[in-house]
Copies of this chain bind each other. A is one copy, B any other.
């Protein structure tokens, strides 16, 4: 059963029948997942080892494998458990809805920065993640967009939040891991700044001396406003084009 390609599908989407025989389990899948999330929250993804999770639960490392097939599947379960903590996007205007969706993602990433240290490619999507995404699709469904445009719009929001979040997460996790603040770390590399000369880096030194790095804009708020503005331009243009009688585009049912 090693190469059962649907094992992780069943793991996430189906609740297995309870065993009738054998001793009562002292541990459970839910407790393993919960403990793993707690470890990752506190110490980052590189501290998340099977040994560490087992230790916090007071069991041996190998006992975890009775409840979870492997580390990869444990990560799948952790991710979908965290999606379950978010609220579904309510039905409102497209802009309010996407704003809500973006902020839900943002607070999810803030609470669990390790999410952004994980690959998303070929990660098995769980029911929680899918229902949240479905609700996000719904808020842009009344705009007469083509189906692939709906996907593109929601995806662009998701990717924006993930992009900004990753920078934030890397910073937070590095601070937590090393115990050295971002500022202290850069100040320790004092010889670096000697190479930042106006001849070599005119703009950066100018921005530095005029205080551009001292009071940076909030990356999330600034970027979100820009992306939503950009989507507004697109959506309005798309609606105008659709109302024009001559330039009928093919609608897929």
Interface residues in chain A, defined as those with a beta carbon under 8 Å from any beta carbon in chain B: 5-6, 8-10, 13, 106-107, 110, 119-122, 124-125, 127, 130-131, 133-135, 137-138, 141, 146-152, 155-156, 159-160, 162-164, 166-168, 170-174, 182, 185, 188-192, 195-196, 200-204, 206-207, 209-213, 215-223, 225-231, 233-234, 246, 248-253
- Looking at chain A's contact residues, the main secondary structure is helix
**In the bound complex, how far is the Cα of B146 from the Cα of A137, in angstroms?**
36
Q: Give every chain B residue within 8 A of A121 (Cβ-Cβ).
A: 167, 170-171, 173-174, 182
Min CB–CB distance A182 → chain B (angstroms) = 8
- Is there an interface contact between A155 and B13, defined as CB atoms closer than 8 Å? no
Q: Do B211 and A147 have beta carbons less than 8 Å apart?
A: yes
Contacts of A212 in B (CB 8 A): 146-148, 150-151, 252
* Contact among B131, B188, B190, B204 for A137, CB-based, below 8 A: B204
- Do A106 and B252 touch (CB < 8 A)? yes
